[in-house]
Copies of this chain bind each other. A is one copy, B any other.
Amino acid sequence: MARVGLTRERLTRDGAELADEQGFDAVTVSAVARRFDVKAASLYAHVKSTDDLRTGVALLALEELADRVAEAIAGRSGREALAAFAAAYRDYARAHPGRYAAARFRLDPQTAAASAGVRHAQMTRALLRGYDLAEPDQTHAVRMLGGMVHGFVELEAAGGFAHTAVDPQASWDWTVDALDAMLRARAHAA
């Protein structure tokens, strides 16, 4: 009966690759089963449902992305840290579009609370410590920064920048500069 050696972990990793190749929506029980050359029903011993499979991919992506961001901001501060932080997100989204989409997958509250999502929030706050913002400005800045990075990355991925000749990288650098200037201007402003 030629055992393939399925594991929840292997299915999750394969799901992540499938997401990058065909999009996160293509991550289904039967698609992954086909890649292992196995019947779909066999996967149900390892994952509870398609939703469960996707949740696994989402958690993996959040973890990977948090690791990269952590490495990017380690030992840096101020503008340099901001640029590295933003670049970590953008580079990951460009290298692994499916995983990036997976990281956006809606998790139920307690799964989210136990995920690497909290590390993302902590790192964003850590980054902003360099700008010395008092509350509630710091929270405002966390939200603005998160929205900015995510929004830019998503519009770029969706092809929204394809109709103009201007290099997206230049727009990105310009935006990061603007963010830095904005945050510095608001330091101590509470």
Contact = CB atoms under 8 A, between A and B. Distances in A.
A111 interface: no
Interface of A: 104, 106, 121, 135-137, 139-140, 143-144, 146-155, 158-161, 163-164, 166, 168, 170-171, 174-175, 178, 181-182, 185-186
Given A178-B186, A182-B181, A182-B182, A171 B151 contact: no
Chain B CB count within 10 A is highest, among A104, A139, A147, A163, for A147
B143 A171 contact: yes
Contact of A151 (B150, B163, B174): B150
A146 B163 CA distance: 14
A151 B140 contact: no
A100 to B, nearest CB: 13
| 6 cross-chain pairs, A with B, having the tightest CB-CB distances, nearest first | A151-B151, A147-B152, A147-B151, A140-B174, A150-B151, A139-B166
Contacts of A150: 147, 151, 154-155
A188 to B, nearest CB: 15
Chain B CB count within 10 A is highest, among A135, A178, A181, A186, for A178
A154 B147 CA distance: 8
A178 B146 contact: no
16 contacts: A121-B163, A137-B174, A143-B168, A144-B148, A144-B171, A144-B178, A146-B155, A147-B148, A147-B150, A147-B152, A147-B155, A150-B151, A150-B155, A151-B151, A178-B186, A182-B182
Nearest to A113: B163
A46 to B, nearest CB: 25
Contacts of A153: 147
Contacts of A168: 143
A140 B170 contact: yes
B178 A166 contact: no
